Amino acid sequence: MITIPEFKTIQSAAIAEISGTATLLVHEKTGTELLYVRNDDENKVFGITLATPPTDSTGLPHIMEHSVLCGSKNYPLKDPFVELLKGSLNTFLNAFTYPDKTCYPVASQNHKDFMNLMRVYLDAVFFPLIPEEVLKQEGWHYELENKEAPLEYKGVVFNEMKGVYSDPVDMVYEYAQESLFPDTIYSLSSGGDPKVIPQLSYQQFKKFHEDFYHPSNARIYLYGDVNEDECFDVIKEYLNQFEQKDLNIEVPLQPTIPNLRLERKEYDAGGGDEAKTSMVTLNWLLPEVSALNERMAITVLNYILLGSSASPLKKALIDSGLGESLIGGGFHTEIRQFYFSTGLKGIKEEDVDKVQALIEDTLASLVKDGIEQEMIEAAINIVEFSYRENNTGGFPRGLALMLRALNTWLYGHDPLEQFRYEDALATLKSNTEVGSYFEGLIQKYLLDNKHRTRILHVPRDGVAAEQEEAEKKKLAEIKAAMWDEELERIIQEAKDLKQFQEEGSSPEDEAKLPFLAIEDLDRANKLVPGEHKAIAATDYFTHDLNTNGICYLDFAFDMARLPFEYVPFLPIYTRALFDMGTKNHDFVSLSPIMDKETGGIGASVFLTNKPQSIDPLRFMLVRGKAVVDKVPALLDITQDILLNIVFDDKQRF
Rg (CA), the chain: 28
Instruction: Give the HSE-up count for residue 280: Cα atoms under 13 Å, Cβ half-sphere.
Output: 22
Residue 535: CB atoms within 10 Å: 7
**Residue in 65, 133, 417, 597 annotated catalytic:** 65
Residue 254: CB atoms within 10 Å: 21
Burial 605-625 (b: 16+ CB within 10 A, else e): eeeeeeeeeeeeebbbebebb
* CA–CA gap between residue 423 and residue 427 (Å, rounded): 6
SS3 percent helix, strand, coil of the chain, rounded to 5, is 45, 25, 35
As separate numbers, helices (DSSP H) first and strands (DSSP E) second, the chain gives: 21, 20
**Residue in 17, 33, 133, 138 annotated catalytic:** 138
Partners of residue 50 on adjacent β-strands:
102, 218
* CA–CA gap between residue 13 and residue 17 (Å, rounded): 11
Q: At residue 343, what are phi and psi to the nearest 5 degrees? A: 175, -165
Q: How far is CA 436 from CA 376, 429, 432, 439, in A?
A: 11, 12, 7, 5
Q: Please name the helix (run of DSSP H) or strand (run of DSSP E) that holds residue 55, with its range, or none.
A: none
First-to-last C-alpha distance (Å) of the chain = 59
Helix crossing, 202-212 with 60-67: angle to 10°?
A: 80
Could you tell me whether strands 218-224 and 33-38 are parallel, antiparallel, or unpaired per DSSP bridges?
Answer: parallel
Q: Provide the 3-class DSSP secondary structure of residue 651.
A: coil
Residue 182 contacts residue 253 (beta carbons within 8 Å): no
Partners of residue 297 on adjacent β-strands:
none
Q: Which residue in 244, 364, 379 sits closest to 300, CA to CA?
A: 379
Residue 362: CB atoms within 10 Å: 18
- Is 65 a residue of the active site? yes
Partners of residue 222 on adjacent β-strands:
36, 46
Q: What is the DSSP annotation of 312-357?
A: HHHHHHHHTSS-SEEEEEEEE-SSSEEEEEEEEEEE-GGGHHHHHH
Q: How far is CA 412 from CA 10, 24, 336, in A?
A: 13, 13, 11
- Is 274 a residue of the active site? no
Residue 111 contacts residue 122 (beta carbons within 8 Å): no
Residue 8: CB atoms within 10 Å: 12
* CA–CA gap between residue 288 and residue 22 (Å, rounded): 25
* CA–CA gap between residue 449 and residue 440 (Å, rounded): 12
Strands (E), 109-164: 141-143, 152-154
* CA–CA gap between residue 302 and residue 627 (Å, rounded): 23
Helix crossing, 312-319 with 292-306: angle to 10°?
A: 30
* CA–CA gap between residue 231 and residue 38 (Å, rounded): 12
Active site residues: 65, 138
